[in-house]
Amino acid sequence: MSHYHAVVWLDHRQAHVMHISPDDVEKSVVHPAQPHLNLHHKSGEIGSGRQPEDQAYYHAIVEALAGAHEILVVGPAQAKLQLIRHIHHHDPAMADKIVGVETVDHPTDGQLVAHARSYFVAKDRMLSQT
């Protein structure tokens, strides 16, 4: 089924991708191949102490978002920004479809869909007034 809007909530452990329409929701959950470890830099060691970003995870999220015309990206921390950087670097055409980025803690799927629907309604109202 084709949906015009999509929302993705993500952190480094999972991504919930929802393709939404006024009366339907198509959900998928994407997990990274390797679990994300929080690494801390120790004094005197070379390197940042950070785990490299899982590009395959971000690519799988991009594939799950395929077909959406407008995308809202939400999440509690840095993963949403890393996804956007990945999209700009690897899929510039999809970057044009991202209409919003917001910090959102850990909503239920129902709360996520309700938030996205109200976001897209408000966005559409603002665009129709210009």
pLDDT of residue 34: 77
Q: Tell me what the pLDDT averaged over the chain comes to.
A: 87
25 has a pLDDT exceeding 90: yes
pLDDT tens digits for range 42-89: 555 555 555 567 899 999 999 999 999 999 999 998 999 999 999 999
The label of the residue with tokens 């015009």 reads 4
pLDDT of residue 46: 57
Domain ranges of the chain: 5-33+48-129
In this structure, which topology does domain 5-33+48-129 adopt according to CATH? Nucleotidyltransferase; domain 5 (3.30.420)
pLDDT of residue 1: 43
Contacts of residue 60, Cβ cutoff 8 Å, sequence gap at least 6: 15, 30
The percent of residues in the chain predicted with pLDDT above 90, rounded, is 70
Entry pTM: 0.84
SS (H, E, C) the chain: CCCCEEEEEECCCCEEEEEEECCEEEEEEECCCCCCCCCCCCCCCCCCCCCCCCHHHHHHHHHHCCCCCEEEEEECCCHHHHHHHHHHHHCHHHHCCEEEEEECCCCCHHHHHHHHHHHHHHHHHHHHHC
